[in-house]
Amino acid sequence: MSVPKRWIGLALSIVASIVLYYHPVSWFSMSKRVVVLGGGVVGLQTAVDLLEAGYAVNVISKHLPGDIDLNYPSQQAAATWASDEPVVDAETKRWYEEGYNQWEVMSQGDEFESAGVAKRPCFRYWENPPENLVKGGSSALWHSEGVSSFRILTSEELPSGVGFGTTFTTFCVNAPAYLEYFQSRILALGGTIKRATLPVDKGLEEGLKAARLLIADELAGSKNQSIYAYVNAMGMNAMRLADDKTLFPIRSQSIHIKGEAHKIADRIDANGIYYAIPRVGEGVTVLGGFMEAGNWNATVNPEINRKILKGCKQLIPECLDENGEFTILKEYVGLRPHRKAGPRVEIEQLKDKAEFGESIVVHNYGHGPGGFFKSVGASRKVVRLLNSFASGTLSEADAETSSSSSKEQEVFEGFYRQGGDSKKEDV
């Protein structure tokens, strides 16, 4: 029995519609190649979003999932969704929401099981809360309406020495599993990943030239040998590559202990913030805190670790052994790239370059300690910017330079301290 051609055509049309619904591809992205510089969580998330939008993608990075390095904080991160900002603009709020919503999906779907995203209750305590927080309660916390099960803790629920507290449902992420998931996704979608060190001291133009030469062999065997755009997701290296003097590190120490805490918890005292975040499925909880702005010191400070361990005993007593101590597995120092005016996600055109012609760069860096969840919304903006640029519909608002803002990004009082070691390390 033969099937009428119109039925075949209708069936193919329905299948195509379903595919495009879940993986929308812009006409303007078809066959265009983008080179992503940087293999941390921001670079990997951006690469996946670009591939799903129909771009061909090559990733180049000095560090990749599995690496342990001061300047690759993604690997040892205690990744969670929580706000360190008392006030956010509309775009940042949208990034928080997009990150929360994506992790909601990833925490439930079987297809995302290997990504290591789990839903858990979060408890946040202030020993000496700001006056506006005590008076305003949930109205003083912009994220109180955007998360599940948010409420102010009663005085009976507060631990000794705590003046104010909140609880809500959020997510914790097994960082190594999450990075591996995105790396595998890139390869499954046809992208390539190359481990290489790019020169950053000679400026953006030379860095892009080196990137092109690094993948010259790959391009030679491809139908599409031209590079449409680059994405600068270089983290702290963007300070030199893009000559961004507003970028600085937020240094933190973390301690990995045996056992998974039942919850996410943090506490802000006179010394700063310390926290406990479980890595579900790994049998590990990450303790950390005492984040310092502008400190480049790569050495673990034993005194800070002592304070972290002491403070976290009150947060997650379920992880203590019979002697009332934690079983320490590993200790780390990480530098997270932060910008005074907030993350930089914008297009830059480098014109009249004799060797390669015009180059388009989309910057995507400076997300600070919130890189894991902010990368979701920021990467989607990268795709929108490139699609709009290609179609000639890039608006002035979309192209606006975030670094032009004169207002510094606010963080909750006590979250970060000014670092004592401003010596710039090699990144």
Confidence at residue 146, expressed as pLDDT on a 0 to 100 scale: 86
285 pLDDT exceeds 60? yes
pLDDT value for 413: 57
What are the structure tokens assigned to 250, written together? 């937020």
pTM: 0.88
Q: Classify residue 6: in a domain, yes or no.
A: no
Per-residue pLDDT averaged across 114-133, rounded?
Answer: 94
Instruction: Note the pLDDT of residue 255.
Output: 97
**Structural domain count, the chain:** 1
Is 233 contained in some domain? yes
Neighbouring CB atoms inside 10 A of 25's CB total 14
User: Is the Cβ–Cβ distance between 61 and 207 less than 8 Å?
Assistant: no
**Higher pLDDT pick, 423 / 384:** 384
Domain that holds residue 344: 33-400+407-415
- HSE at residue 83, side-chain half, CA atoms within 13 A, is 27
- Residue 415: pLDDT band by 50, 70, 90 thresholds? low
Give the pLDDT band (50/70/90) at residue 340.
confident
More confident site: 232 or 26 = 232
When mean pLDDT is compared across 12-26, 93-107, 207-221, 371-385, the lowest value belongs to 12-26
Q: Are 353 and 221 in contact (CB under 8 A)?
A: no
Distance CA 43, CA 367 (A): 12
152-180 residue pLDDT tens: 999 999 999 999 999 999 999 999 999 99
* pLDDT-based confidence at residue 327 (cuts at 50, 70, 90): very high
What SS3 class is residue 372? Answer: helix
Identify the DSSP state of 367. Answer: B
Give the pLDDT of residue 217: 86
Average pLDDT over residues 293-311: 94
Residue 217, in any domain of the structure: yes
Q: What is the pLDDT of residue 392?
A: 84
Which domain CATH number covers 66?
Answer: 3.30.9.10
128, with CB counted inside 10 A (0-12, 13-18, 19+), is middle
> What are the tens digits of pLDDT across the range 1-52?
555 545 444 444 443 443 344 445 555 555 799 999 999 999 999 999 999 9
Alpha carbon distance 153, 236 (integer Å):
38
C-alpha–C-alpha distance, residues 365 and 313, integer Å = 34
- What percentage of the chain exceeds 90 in pLDDT? 69
Give the mean pLDDT of 297-314.
Answer: 94
SS3 for 239? helix
Q: What is the mean pLDDT of residues 348-366?
A: 79
Q: Quote the pLDDT of residue 358.
A: 77
**207 part of a folded domain:** yes
Q: What is the pLDDT of residue 10?
A: 47
CA dist 218 → 50, 155, 185, 355 (Å): 18, 62, 19, 19
In a domain, residue 136? The reply is yes
In a domain, 160, yes or no: yes
For 153, the token pair is 């803790």
Within 8 A by CB and 6+ apart from 368, the residues are 84, 250, 336, 337, 338, 339, 343
421: confidence class by pLDDT, cuts 50, 70, 90: low
Across the range 232-246, mean pLDDT stands at 95
Q: 420 falls in which pLDDT band (50, 70, 90)?
A: low
Query: Is the pLDDT assigned to residue 268 strictly greater than 60?
Result: yes
| pLDDT tens by residue, 208-224 | 999 999 999 888 877 76
Average pLDDT, the chain: 87
